[in-house]
Amino acid sequence: MANRLAHETSPYLLQHADNPVDWWPWSVEAFEEARRTGKPVLLSVGYSSCHWCHVMAHESFEDRTTADYLNEHFVSVKVDREERPDVDAVYMEAVQAATGQGGWPMTVFLTPDAEPFYFGTYFPPAPRHGMPSFRQVLEGVQQAWTTRHDEVSEVAGKIVRDLAQREIVRQAAEAPGEQELAQALLGLTREYDPQRGGFGGAPKFPPSMVLEFLLRHHARTGAEGALQMAQDTCERMARGGIYDQLGGGFARYSVDRDWIVPHFEKMLYDNALLCRVYAHLWRATGSDLARRVALETADFLVRELRTPEGGFASALDADSDDGTGRHVEGAYYAWTPGQLREVLGEDAELAAQYFGVTDEGTFEHGQSVLQLPQTEGVFEADKVESVKRRLLDARARRAAPGRDDKVVAAWNGLAVAALAETGAYFGRPDLTEAAVGAADLLVRVHLDEHARLARTSKDGRVGPNAGVLEDYADVAEGFLALASVTGEGVWLDFAGLLLDQVLARFTDPETGALFDTASDAEQLIRRPQDPTDNAAPSGWTAAAGALLGYAAHTGSEAHRSAAERALGIVKTLGPRVPRFIGWGLAAAEALLDGPREVAVVGPDPADERTAALHRTALLGDAPGAVVACGTPGSDEFPLLAGRTLVGGAPTAYVCRGFVCDLPVTDPSALREKLTAR
C-alpha cells in the first residue's frame, strides 16, 4: 500500500511511495503529528540520482522490520533536496557544524519543533567500518528521547541558538576592484593542477564557474595564464572519462585526479554550465575541440533531458541494470575489450586504442570508461565516426539509467542561457528554439500572476514549493541571454519582473546582502544565506550578475546599485576562497568592463547585413556585454531608443552607461570595439 508520498510530484519522493515506512512529506501536518504523538522526527534528505540514497533505501527503508520500528517510534519525513534546497541548506549546516562533514542521504533527528539534535548521513544496515547500524542509531535516539528528554531538548535548543548566532562573513561596502581580482587569480594559480588541469585533488569537480571567471579575466586583461588554465582544464576534462565520448555530456565529478573514472550521474546544471563554458572558450580561441564539446553537450541536453513539455529534466542516474537484474553504477557507460569485439568485430582494436580500453580496465571488473587519448589524426576520421555510431547504437540497447523528470526552474534558466548562446554562435536555430521552448514553459507553468516563481514542475504540473533566490536569478539570466540572442524584448521584460522580486523579497535593504529564501517564505529554524558557489552558482552571485545585466540593458540605477552592493561579498571572499565564488568573480569582471551595451539597428532584423552585425555583437568577448537588436525607433529595448541607421545601412552602437562610441556599419569595426582590452 502506498504511503503519503504517492501524491507528490518529486520523482525522488515517488521512489519512496511504496516503502513500508509511513513517510510524510515536509509539511506543517507532519510536525503537528509529532507533537500530537510525542514522537521525534526522522528527517531523511536525498535526491533522485544519489547513489547512496538508493543504497540506504534498499537496505533500510524497504525493510519491513526497520520500517515497523520507524513507524512505531518516529514521524518520518522525506525531503527531495532539489525541491527544497532551503530545508537541505539549513540542516546540512547543522550536520557540518556538528560532524565536520556532510553528504546525502542526510539523516537528521528533530524535535516536533523542527530543532535538530542528532545527525548523520548514510547508515548501513549492520555495523561497518566503525559506523553503527541504522537500527542501532534508531534505538539509541529513541532511548535518549524517552529517558533523557529534557537533555535532548536542551541540546536541540542550544544547536538552534548557535546556528542563529552564526553570521555570514561581513561583506565589504563596495564591489571588488583590480586588486581583489588579481589576488583571486593568484589564489587559483596556487591551487591549480598543472599536470591534470582543474583545482585540488580527488574527487575533482568540473570548475565551471571558475572557468567562466578565467575566460572573462583573460578577455578583459589579456592575462595568458588565466586563459591557459581554462583551456588546459577544458581539454583534460573533454578527453577524460568524465565526458561521455559517445553521447556527449559530462558526469557529475571524477573520483580520481585525472578525470578518468566519473561518478556517472549526469546533472542538468553541470551540463548547462559546461556547454556555455566550452562555447565561450571557442569564442575566445576558435578551438575545434571546444566547438565539438559545446555542440555535443547541447545535443545531449536536448536529446536526453528535454521533457515533452519543453523543459529539461534534472538528472540521469549513475546506476542502471547491468543485464543481470542488479543496479550497478556505470553499467550503461563502461566497456570491456570483449564487448567491443561483440559490437565492432575487426574494428574493436581500433576502438580500444582510440578510447583507451584495456584488458586490465580503468574502472571495475575489467571494464574501462571511454577516454580520448591523444589519438586524433592517427585513425581515419570516417572510420572513427563509424565506430562511435555503432557503439552508441549498441549502448542504446542497454538498460538506460533512470531519469529524474522534474523541471527545476533555476537549472532550466541555466540551460536556456547555454542553448540560446550555443545556437547563435554555431548557426543552430534548433538549439535556440529549444531554449525558447524551455523559457515558455517557465513562464506558462512556473510563473504566476504576481511574478512569483515555483521551484519545480513535473509533467506540466506545477510543484508546491516556492522558488528560492537561485531560481529567480538563474531564470532571469536565461531570459537576458534569450533577449540578446532573439531580439525579442519580452524576455527582458520577464527578467525585470523576476529581478524586481529579488529586490523586494530577497534583499536586506540595509546592507544589500541577499537571502536564499524570500522574506515571506516558510520560516525555518534559520533563514539560509550562502554566497558561495556549490555545484551551481550561488543565488547571491547569480542575482548580482543578472541585476548587472538588466541594468546594462535598461539603465536602471536601482538594479545596478543592488548588483554593486551584492558584489561586496566578492571583495571579501574572492581573494580568500576564489574556487568557491567563481560566478561572483565573473560578475565582478563584467562590472569592471562596464559592462558594454551593444545596440544593433537595421531596417529588418532578418536582413543579412543586420544579422552579420548582430552575430558579431554576440561573439564579442567583452565580459557580461548585453546586446539589443531591432529596428530604429523600436520600443523592444531601451538601448534602441534614438538609434538610427548611418547612411541607410544597418548600424551598431557600443556604449557604456548609455554613453556610446561612434556608430559602425562594418562587422570588423564592431569586432574591434568589442575586444575587451
Give the span between the Cα atoms of 352 and 392, in whole angstroms: 15
Q: Cα-Cα-Cα-Cα dihedral of 252, 257, 260, 265, to 10°?
A: -10
pLDDT for the residue 377: 66
Sequence-ordered strand ranges (E) for 161-302: 253-254, 262-263, 266-267
Least Cα distance to 264 among 11, 51, 13, 535 occurs for: 51
Q: Find the helix packing angle between 539-554 and 490-501, rounded to 10°.
A: 130
Tell me the backbone φ, ψ of residue 440, rounded to 5 degrees.
-60, -45
Dihedral over alpha carbons 65, 66, 67, 70 (to 10 degrees): 130
Q: What are residue 24's DSSP bridge partners?
A: 77
Res 376: pLDDT: 64
Residue 547's SS3 state is helix
Residues in the chain: 677
Name residue, grid cell 572519462.
241
Q: Is the dihedral of CA 312, 317, 318, 323 positive or negative?
A: negative
Nearby residues of 33 by Cβ (< 8 Å), 6 or more positions away: 24, 39, 75
Q: What is the pLDDT of residue 374?
A: 75
Three-state DSSP state, 306: strand
Taking the alpha carbons at both ends of the chain, their separation in whole angstroms is: 65
Print burial letters for 6-26: b (CB count within 10 Å at least 16), e (below 16): eebbbbbbbbbeebbbbbbbb
Question: Pick from 427, 488, 481: which is nearest to 294 by CA?
Answer: 427
- pLDDT for res 637: 96
pLDDT computed for residue 308 by the predictor: 97
Neighbours of 61 (CB within 10 A): 22
The angle subtended at Cα 550 by Cα 173 and Cα 491, nearest 5°, is: 155
Query: At how many degrees (to 10) do helices 582-593 and 557-566 cross?
Result: 140
Question: ω into residue 595 within 30 of 0, thus cis?
Answer: yes
118, 94 in Cβ contact below 8 A?
no
- pLDDT score recorded for residue 404: 95
Grid coordinates of 293: 564539446
Helix/strand/coil (H/E/C) assignment for every residue in 86-141: HHHHHHHHHHHHHHCCCCCCEEEEECCCCCEEEEECCCCCCCECCECCHHHHHHHH
What pLDDT is recorded for position 98?
80
| pLDDT profile of the chain (677 residues), mean per 10 | 86 94 96 97 93 92 96 97 95 86 92 94 89 94 95 91 75 91 98 96 96 98 97 98 98 96 96 98 97 98 98 94 85 96 95 95 94 78 93 96 96 98 98 98 97 96 96 98 98 98 96 96 94 96 98 97 97 96 98 97 89 97 96 93 94 94 95 82
CB-based contacts of 428, cutoff 8 Å, min separation 6: 295, 298, 422
pTM reported for the whole predicted model? 0.95
> CA–CA separation, 15 vs 203, rounded Å?
28
Place of cell 523528470: 405
The Cα 452–Cα 446 span in angstroms is 8
Looking only at Cα atoms, what is the longest distance across the chain? 88
